Homo-oligomer: A and B are copies of this chain.
Amino acid sequence: MENNNLENKNDDMCEIFDSHEDVVSRVKKRIPDESEFSELSEFFKIFGNPTRLKIISLLSIEDLCVCDICEALDLNQTTVSNQLRILRANNIVKYKKEGKMARYSLTDLHIEMIYKVGLEHILE
């Protein structure tokens, strides 16, 4: 094993079909760059929490104030408010102040689409 240096693993992997090198260089050119993957994973991370999904689900039906969300989900106000902050920070929900209330809604249709396609996927 000592003469088999692994620092250049391309050389000793997967050489059964010599097309692999071409395949790799071709697909490499067509993917987004590091910063976009990073941003996108932060975005999707938001959907990876049941409380946030419940809020998204509610807001896909209609706009709601914080206390209605708390009540509909039977969650305490701190939890909901914290998750709304995260949703806001990630551009998934927006809100309008109405007196002492805050009325939340989904930012755009992308959010609803992603939620619904995901739901469809797990239900089939």
Contacts and interface: CB of A to CB of B under 8 A. Distances in A.
A107 B90 CA distance: 28
A110 B117 contact: yes
Contacts of A10: 71
A97 interface: no
A61 B39 CA distance: 20
- Size category of the binding interface on chain A: 35 or more
A16 B113 CA distance: 33
Contact of A118 (B13, B61, B99, B114): B114
20 contacts: A9-B70, A9-B71, A13-B70, A14-B68, A14-B101, A24-B72, A27-B58, A27-B62, A27-B64, A27-B68, A31-B57, A38-B50, A41-B47, A41-B52, A43-B122, A44-B118, A45-B48, A45-B49, A110-B118, A113-B113
Interface of A: 9-10, 13-14, 16, 20, 23-24, 27-28, 30-32, 34, 36-50, 52-54, 57-58, 61-62, 64-65, 67-68, 70-72, 91, 99, 101, 108, 110-111, 113-114, 117-123
